[in-house]
Structure 1
Amino acid sequence: MAVTDRDAAPRYGKALFEAAQDQQALSAVSAQLAQVNAVIEATPELMPALASNNLTQTDKTTLMGLLTQDAGDLVKHLVQILMANGRILGLPAVIQDFSDRFDEATGHVDATVTTAVPLTEAQAQAMNQALAKQLKAKTVGITTVVDPSVIGGVKVQSSDLVIDGTVKTRLSKLRQQLLTN
């Protein structure tokens, strides 16, 4: 069975992470990969163009140069290796793998907090501290979502963890209990 780009991504992500760690450049490489990922997301036709047989090698090299123009040698070499090995479409998955490894190494966790009304700055800070303690993380990146249908309370999602203390969920559970009894 052939190895897909997504299957190969952890190998490349791990190799890049270890090389960046050896050079004490984890934060720099992480920031550079975030920039590359932003370009990929802003230009959806870029990755298919790089993988296409319709462009000349010179055109592909020019595109890769534009993609990595602000990146350091490690990121530039990664893109070149992926291109040479026919795995350029796996670049977003490699970036995600590196990001996951970086977050784990730095104790960073991302969480989505859903509330019925916007959180004040003080509430957001208190939520950040509470989540850091609950999730045993050094830092927590919170994305807030306002959804009036939750009525009240808070729903927190982080990776595979969901903490749902919303009024909507409580009412739904109560309705289920009433209907089953």
Structure 2
Amino acid sequence: MAVTDRDAAPRYGKALFEAAQDQQALSAVSEQLAQVNAVIKATPELMPALASNNLTEADKTDLMGLLTKDSGELVKNLVQILMANGRILGLPAVIEDFSDRFDEATSHVEATVTTAVPLTEGQTQAMNQALAKQLNAKTVGITCVVDPAVIGGVKVQSNDLVIDGTVKTRLAKLRQQLLTN
């Protein structure tokens, strides 16, 4: 059975994480990978172009240079190694693996908070503190989503955890109870 890019990503992610840790550059590498990931997401045709046989090696080198122009040596070397090993399409999965390792090492958790109306700055800070305590994290990155369909309350999603205190969910549960009784 062939090893896919997604299967190989943890190997590259771990190697990059350990190298960045050895150089005490975890935060810098994390930021650089976030920039690379933003470029990948903004230009969906980039990764297929890098994997394509239609471009010359010089063109691919130029594209890789643009992709990693603000990156340090570790990130540039990662991209070159992935390219040389025919695994460039796995770069987003490697970035995700590194990010997961970085978040775990720094006790950082990402959470999506869905409400019917936008949260104020004070509410966002209070939510951040409450989630940090609830999730045993030092820091929490909150992405706020406004969805009027929730009617009221808050829904929090973080990794595999979902805390749903929305009016929409409560009404759906009540409706289900009424229909089954």
TM-score (norm 2): 0.98
Residue 42 of structure 1, CA deviation: 1.1
Alpha-carbon distance in structure 1 between the residues aligned to 2:26 and 2:8: 21
Structure 2 residue aligned with 1:63: 63
Question: Pairwise CA RMSD of aligned residues?
Answer: 0.7
Q: Do residues 48 (structure 1) and 48 (structure 2) align?
A: yes
Provide the secondary structure at the position in 2 that maps to 1:155: strand
1:154 aligns with 2:157: no
> Which residue of structure 1 lines up, in the alignment, with residue 78 of structure 2?
78
Partner Cα separation in structure 2 for residue 128 and residue 20 of structure 1: 28
Amino acid at match of 1:109: V
Output the CA distance in 1 between the equivalents of 2:66 and 2:149. 44
**Is it true that 1:121 corresponds to 2:121 in the alignment?**
yes
SS at match of 1:162: strand
After superposition, what is the alpha-carbon deviation per residue over 1:15-37, rounded to whole angstroms, capped at 9, x for unaligned?
Answer: 00000000000001001111111
Q: Distance in 1 between matches of 2:123 and 2:177?
A: 33
Rounded Cα–Cα distance in structure 1 between residues aligned with 2:117 and 2:52: 47
Q: Distance in 2 between matches of 1:126 and 1:134?
A: 12
- Map residues 18-29 of structure 1 onto 2, 5 A cutoff: 18-29=18-29
Q: Residue 136 of structure 2 aligns with which residue?
A: 136
Other-structure match for 2:103: 103
Counterpart residue number, 1:11: 11
Question: Mapping of 1:25-36 within 5 angstroms?
Answer: 25-36=25-36
- The alignment-based identity, stated in percent, is 90
Classify the secondary structure of the residue corresponding to 2:119. Answer: coil
**2:105 alignment partner AA:** A
TM-score of the pair, normalised by structure 1: 0.98
Distance in 2 (CA, whole Å) between partners of 1:98 and 1:130 is 26
List aligned pairs for 1:155-170, cutoff 5 A.
Answer: 155-170=155-170
Q: Secondary structure at the match of 2:12?
A: helix
- The C-alpha deviation readout for 1:75-132, integer Å capped at 9, x for no partner, is 0110010000000000010001001100110111011111111111111111110000
Distance apart, 1:62 and its partner CA: 1.1
| Structure 1 partner of 2:38 | 38
Distance 1:12 1:89 in 2: 13
Q: What is the CA–CA distance in structure 1 between the aligned matches of 2:120 and 2:72, rounded to whole Å?
A: 39
| 2:81 corresponds to 1:93 | no
Counterpart AA for 1:139: T
Count of residues paired in the alignment: 181
Q: Tell me how far 1:159 sits from its aligned partner.
A: 0.6
1:67 Cα shift? 0.9
